Chain A
Amino acid sequence: MTHPGTYSDRRTGAHSRSGGRPTGDLLPVVPRRGCGGRRLLVGLFLLGLVASVLPWWTDTQAGSLAGGTAKLTAAGQISGLLAGYLLLVQVLMMSRLPVLERVAGGERIARWHRDVGATLLVAVLAHMSLILVGYAGLEGRSPLGQAGVMLRDYQDMASAFAAAGLLVLVGLTSVRAVRRALPYELWHATHLAAYAVLLLGFAHQFSNGTQLFRPGPVRTGWIAFYALVVAALLYGRVIAPLAFNLRHRLRVADVVAENPDTVSIYLTGARLDRLTMLGGQFFRWRFLTRGCWWQSHPFSVSAAANGRWLRMTVKVVGSHTRDLRDLDPGVRVWAVGPSGTFTAAHRTRERALLIAGGSGITPLRAMLEELPPGTALIYRVRTPSDVLLHRELDWLAQARGVQVWYVVGSRDDPGPRQVMSADGLRRLVPDVARRDVYLCGPPGLIEQSRQLLRRAGVPRRQIHLATFEL
């Protein structure tokens, strides 16, 4: 199926699976995975939530909370335990532990991280204010005076206050409106302060925590959870990527222009036949060359695993992606991944409909090789020259029985308007409600399609979105 004649063309354009490059055999259809693992994770999380408050429940005598200040202090203790637990969960979720990535997927974990983050922020603020007011009431001071006394006299409270301040900062810079106004690098640097929160907040739990300061199983368990999270962090962030990159030693093989503002980057490396990834997944790439090495960006692969090479297809939108056009062959690449549940394995039905917009075709193109025959693809582009990987798609349409529709034109043209309606969708894909739908493209198109699909009767859990943004 390869066309050696077009190999020198330096364009991913041949009528073949891979633009004329040598590949392995055709891939088998990827079997579906259930959502049992995800439910297990949620169950474990809830169990941990209960377990974190349990020490308070057993320590506190019934009827001992007479009076308002005692109640406030008790609520402060509970919210403190909850906050301590949630902070560890937050860090654990960002540890990129392979098992978490596989079961829940990076995008979903990122969403959870957002929600738990907001909860954590409220829990920490509640913990601080309740304890301050409660203790102030006990000792007959004003809350502000109490804060001063705590900073001065209590062990480890100065660092705890610093941790709370940092956490509030991290929380506030993550509010969507604030975050959009900040440069990514600044936001990222602020977010790294969360590790300092973990460190600074550690001591005060054990020197002042009513449930934790006494040596015993509760204290030991709490410290063990800390150790577990740090171990997960170390494994997911350091050891696993190190092992992956030492094993595969990826390098840039070739950079090919797909159209004026899109490039495909081909990578080779060692033992790629042992690289397990699914189409639609992404890696965080770091190109080890001057000006690029300090940035890591997520791009999905645009071809399924073939044992010989990897490829990503990137649209030039910023300074970093502009630099990628000038990569020289041989440049080392540091990759972390694969991540993501935007894959054929996570579909709930046998058949699928893919909707791509512009350069959003790339993960879908990789998935097409692993989906069963009868898959439908709707490819929205503004002009014919925006169509990427055109010939590969045509080849896939034939070889794997994919129905491909190119919907060309601006949003208000009659063609696109007709297709992008509930009726239009049903005419193209009559059984759309019984398919999994994968969406990838500009946010506007994604949102429009999502509403459309809901109107066409597609259940929410059958709609998959590729979102790299939180």
Chain B
Amino acid sequence: MRRALFAITGLAASTTALVVLKAGPDTSRVAQELPASATPGTEESTTAAESTAEPAEATATAVPRPSVSRSPAPGQSTASPAAGGAESSGGATKKPSVAQPSTAAPRSTVRRVFGPVVSNEFGNVQVAISLTGSRIVAAEALELPERTAQSEQRSSRVDDRYSGTAGLVVQRQSADLDTVSGATATSESYRESLQAAIDQAR
């Protein structure tokens, strides 16, 4: 019984230690994330490549979410490979796309606009939209809450409804979207980030 007490204490202590270790701020990661979330501005797709890579990578390393990696839209086929790199959300595809940004530069008819990071109690939401002129051709979520399996299921439902080239955002061309039932908070944060992105774009 003495050993059991020892084991319980030991495991409790090491669990606490693990959580505390992970909770400590990781300076390198914070430094990377700050510019991305602090400058939600309009950028040409070519120049955006450097800074988009960061948030995309951040979400990718946290949880490789299969639902995000949609195939590039037909409207975006003319877009730069850099935009595709950010969209495919895989850290691995980022590097080759950054390596050849100049090829897309002459035909940059597609703009990408980033909304701000909006936090709710489940996590952060950041939305990016792609526009041709003033028309939204695609929307994507760079970050969605996915700390728990349940929250990830909700996020992917919101993502499926809103994002993409044929999602609700493209259909409505505005942030006036129906709330996804059972995912109210995430829907709201999505709309907030989207609205800010639309305001900036126009």
Question: A-side interface residues toward B, CB under 8 Å?
Answer: 53, 56-57, 59-66, 69-71, 73-75, 78-79, 82, 114-119, 122-123, 126, 135, 138-140, 154, 207-210, 213-214
Contact = CB atoms under 8 A, between A and B. Distances in A.
B34 interface: no
Interface string B41-65: 0000000000000000010011110
6 contacts: A53-B18, A65-B23, A71-B23, A135-B148, A208-B149, A210-B148
Contacts of B25: 62-63
A138 B149 contact: no
Interface in B11-53: 11-12, 15-16, 18-19, 21-26, 29-30
Contacts, number: 95
A203 to B, nearest CB: 13
B90 to A, nearest CB: 14
Given A115-B3, A138-B122, A208-B149, A75 B19 contact: yes
Chain B interface category by residue count: 20 to 34
Contact of A73 (B1, B8, B24, B147): B147
B92 interface: no
Contacts of A53: 18
B42 to A, nearest CB: 28
A60 B22 contact: yes
A61 B23 contact: no
Contact of B149 (A60, A79, A210): A210
B121 A115 contact: no
Given A61-B61, A135-B148, A115 B22 contact: no
B71 interface: no
Interface majority SS (helix, strand, loop, mixed), chain A: helix
A71 B147 CA distance: 11
A73 B29 CA distance: 22
A64 B18 CA distance: 13
B166 interface: no
Nearest to B11: A82
Contact of B19 (A74, A82, A126, A207): A74
B151 A138 contact: yes
B129 to A, nearest CB: 26
Contacts of B63: 59
Given A74-B18, A119-B4, A138-B151, 11 more contacts: A57-B22, A61-B58, A63-B24, A63-B26, A64-B147, A65-B22, A74-B22, A82-B11, A122-B8, A126-B12, A207-B149
A59 B63 CA distance: 7
